[in-house]
Amino acid sequence: MDYFKNLAGLLELELAHDRAQHELLLSSRTLSERKELGVTWYPIQISDSELGRGDYLTVTFHKTNDLENGHRFRFGMPISLFSNYSPQEDKIQGTIAFVNQNLMKVSFRTEELPEWSRKGKLGLDLLFDENSYREMKAALLEAERGIEDPQKGKLTRKLLGLEPLTVGHGQDDFDDVTLNQSQNQAVRHILGEGDLAILHGPPGTGKTTTLIKAISVAIERSGEQVLIVAPSNTAVDVLAERLDRLGLNVLRIGNPVKVSAHLLALTLDEKASKHAGYKEVKGLEKQARAYTDMARKYKRNFGRSEYEQRKALLNEARKIRKDIDRIQDYVIEDLLDKAQVIAATLVGANHPHIRDRRFHTVVIDEAAQGLEPACWIPILKADRLLLAGDHCQLPPTIKSEEKESRQLFNTLFEKLVKKYPDSVSFLDTQYRMNSQIMSYPSMTMYDGMLKAAPSAAEWRLTGDCQPLVFIDTAGAGFEEKEDEGALSNKEEADFLINHLTTLITQLEGEYNEGLLPTIGIITPYRGQANRLKTLLSDMVGLSDIDLQVSTVDGFQGQEKDIIYISLVRSNTDGNIGFLSDVRRINVALTRAKKKLIVIGDSSTIGQHAFYKGFLDYVESVNGYHSVWEWDII
C-alpha cells in the first residue's frame, strides 16, 4: 500500500541523515569532545565477565571518572570497545545489555575478549543505532502486508479508514470524586471498548493522572494484560512507577533512565533474579564459570592434548549454559504471563521477549511526539488502541533536513484526531497557570476550550499584580549572532540576567525567610541556553533557589512558579527561524504557574500572525513594556 511505502521512504531519509551525522561526530571529534557529548566513556575498567546466552560473553564496565556527566548510551544500542593505544585497529563491537549512570554490561559474540583488552586504556564508543530503524522498517512492511489478513490487519484497516471504526459509547457507571468532569468523561470513554480512544491533554490538565486511572480501572474490570509504551524511556518510567504504586504487577522491559531501586525492581532482570525458579540458576552459573575459567588458563601456544582439554571444558560450560537458558526461559515466560502491565518504549515493544505477544489494549503515551513508523511497532500487537498526548505541543524530533521529511511532523496522533473526532476526549481544565498566562494559548491552540481551575486561576507571586509581561527589545540594538552554528543574543541574555537579579532581590524581601518561588529560563536556542548558563555560573547566592535553564525541548512536561523566555531572534529581515513552529513556543508559554516574562524584539517577531496576536493580547492585559523602561546602558 502506498501509505506505508511513503512512510518507509521518509524513514530512509531520516536513516541516511542520522547515520551520516553520527559517523561525522565520531570521526571529527576528539576523545574529550566525544566524552563531553556523552557518546564515549573513557577510561573504563572491567569488573566482571561471564559467558551468557548463545555463547555471548557479557562484560561489566565501570566509568572511572566524569561520574556526574550524562550520556546517550541506552539498552540495546551497539557499542565499540577500543584501546586508546591503537583505537583504529584495536576495537570490537558489542551490544548494551544494561546501563545506568556509571556502569554498563555489554554482550560480545565471542568466548573471550582480545589480548589487547588486558593492557588497559580502554574506552567505549556509542555506534550508530540502526536497530531502531530496522524495527521501524520491519513494522511498516508488516503493516503493509498485514492489511490483507482478516484478523491481524483489522485494526490497521480501521485506523486507515478502510473499514468502519467502532467508537466506544462509554461506561456510565464510572465516576471518581478525585477527577473533574472532563477527566471522568475521558475515563468513561476509554472504558467503552471502542477500537480507538484518544486522550487529548493540554498542559496542566492532568493527562497522566487520567490515563493512569483509566488503565488501572480497565485492568481491574477486564483482567486483560495491557502494553503501555511511549517514545522516551523517561515517559515510560513515569507510567511504570505510578501504576506500580497503585499495586499493579508492572514489568518494565529495557532499562529505566532514572535508576532508582524502586524502578529497577520492576525490570525483567531484577524480577527474574528474585523468582523462585531462579535459585537453581546461580549454582549452575558457578559451575559454568568454573569450567570457563579453567579453559582460559591454557595459553595460546599449547599442544593437541591441551587443545582437546580446553575444548572439553568449554563444551561442558555450554551444556550447563543450555540448562540455564531453559530455566531462564521458563522464568521469563512466567513473569510475562503474570504481569498486568508491560511497559516499554515504542521500539522496545519489539524486544525479543515480547516480540510475538498480542495485547487486547495497547496504550501509547506522548503519542504526538512519536515518530509514526515507530508507533506502528506496538499498534501491530493490538486489538484496540489508546493514544494520549497533545499535538499542539512538541512534535517528534526530525533529523533529516530534506523538505519531504517535514511530512513526519504530521504524526499519527494528529491524523487520527482529525479523522475520528468522536474518538477524542478533550481535558478542558488546567491546574497549572494563572488565567492570564493561560488565555492566549487557549485561544490560539485549543479553540478557547481550555479553562483555569479555580485553584490556579488567580495564582500570583506575593506582592505582584502582573502575571504576564512582555519586554520589547525593539530598537535597543540587541542583535542575534551565530557562532559555529549556534544562535544567541548577548545583549538579550545580559538584560535577562540583570532583570532576574532585581526580581530575586524583590522576592527575598517579599518571601522573607520562606521558600522562594521556583524559576525557569527557557530559550528555543541551545547557544543562548549555554550563554545564560555561563552568566548564571558567575553569580553568587543562587544555591538556595530552584533555578533551571534549558531549551524548550528540555522543559517539556515541567513547570515553575516563574518562567523567563528569551526569544533571541532580532534582525531586520523579520526572520524568526523555527520560532514559526508555534507548537514549540506553546510549550514555553505554558510552563509558568504564577508569572511569565517574555523578552523579544517585536519588530522581528511581530510580522508572524501568532506573535502579532500575542503582542496584542499582552497589551490588552497591560503586560507590555519596553526595554527602555529599564536602565540598559
Co-location of 348 and 320 in the same domain: no
Co-location of 497 and 590 in the same domain: yes
Other CB atoms within 10 A of residue 99 CB = 23
Q: Establish if 369 belongs to a structural domain.
A: yes
Pairing of strands 519-523, 486-488: unpaired
pLDDT digits (tens, 9 = 90+) for 536-576: 988 877 777 899 999 998 888 899 999 999 999 999 999 99
Cell triple for residue 188?
468513561
For residue 82, the domain's CATH number is: 2.40.30.270
Q: Establish if 403 belongs to a structural domain.
A: yes
Q: Establish if 137 belongs to a structural domain.
A: yes
pLDDT at 327: 83
pLDDT at 259: 62
501 has a pLDDT exceeding 80: yes
For residue 136, the domain's CATH number is: 3.40.50.300
416 has a pLDDT exceeding 80: yes
Q: Establish if 16 belongs to a structural domain.
A: no
Q: At a CB cut-off of 8 Å and minimum separation 6, what does 499 contact?
A: 471, 564, 597, 599, 630
Number of domains within the chain = 4
301 has a pLDDT exceeding 60: no
427 has a pLDDT exceeding 90: yes
Co-location of 185 and 301 in the same domain: no
Distance of CA 415 to the CA centre of its chain: 22
124 has a pLDDT exceeding 80: yes
Co-location of 501 and 381 in the same domain: no
Rounded mean pLDDT of 8-24? 93
Co-location of 309 and 455 in the same domain: no
Whole-prediction pTM: 0.89
* Radius of gyration (C-alpha) of the chain in whole angstroms: 27
Q: Establish if 287 belongs to a structural domain.
A: yes
Across the chain, what does the average pLDDT equal? Answer: 90
Query: Any idea what DSSP says for residue 179?
Result: S
Residue linked to cell 480512544 = 197
> Looking at 313, 337, 361, which one is the last position of a domain?
337
pLDDT digits (tens, 9 = 90+) for 223-272: 999 999 999 988 999 999 999 999 999 999 987 776 677 888 999 888 98
Expressed as residue numbers, the domain containing 113 is 38-128
Co-location of 601 and 550 in the same domain: yes
Q: How confident is the model at residue 515 (pLDDT cuts 50, 70, 90)?
A: confident
229 within 8 A of 362, measured Cβ to Cβ:
yes
621 has a pLDDT exceeding 90: yes
Q: At a CB cut-off of 8 Å and minimum separation 6, what does 466 contact?
A: 595, 622, 623
pLDDT at 299: 55
pLDDT at 289: 72
160 has a pLDDT exceeding 90: yes
Q: Establish if 440 belongs to a structural domain.
A: no
Q: Establish if 434 belongs to a structural domain.
A: no
> Looking at 298, 319, 337, which one is the last position of a domain?
337
Alpha helices (H) in 147-260, listed in sequence order = 154-159, 181-190, 207-222, 233-245
Q: At what angle do helices 412-419 and 372-379 cross, to 10 degrees?
A: 70
Co-location of 106 and 138 in the same domain: no
355 has a pLDDT exceeding 70: yes
The backbone torsions φ and ψ at residue 126, rounded to the nearest 5 degrees and listed phi first, read: -80, 120
- Each residue of 356-365: b (16+ CB within 10 Å) or e? eeebebbbbb
Q: How confident is the model at residue 437 (pLDDT cuts 50, 70, 90)?
A: very high
148 has a pLDDT exceeding 90: no
Question: Residue 400, class by beta-carbon neighbours within 10 Å (0-12 exposed, 13-18 middle, 19+ buried)?
Answer: buried
The backbone torsions φ and ψ at residue 565, rounded to the nearest 5 degrees and listed phi first, read: -120, 120
Co-location of 234 and 362 in the same domain: yes
> Looking at 66, 95, 128, which one is the last position of a domain?
128
pLDDT at 165: 93
pLDDT at 300: 55
Q: Establish if 526 belongs to a structural domain.
A: yes
Co-location of 349 and 327 in the same domain: no
Question: Residue 624, class by beta-carbon neighbours within 10 Å (0-12 exposed, 13-18 middle, 19+ buried)?
Answer: middle
Co-location of 71 and 119 in the same domain: yes
Rounded mean pLDDT of 41-51? 88
Report how far residue 530's alpha carbon sits from residue 499's, in angstroms, rounded to the nearest whole number: 18
Co-location of 392 and 461 in the same domain: no
Co-location of 365 and 495 in the same domain: no
Query: Any idea what DSSP says for residue 143?
Result: H
Q: How confident is the model at residue 323 (pLDDT cuts 50, 70, 90)?
A: confident
Q: How confident is the model at residue 173 (pLDDT cuts 50, 70, 90)?
A: confident
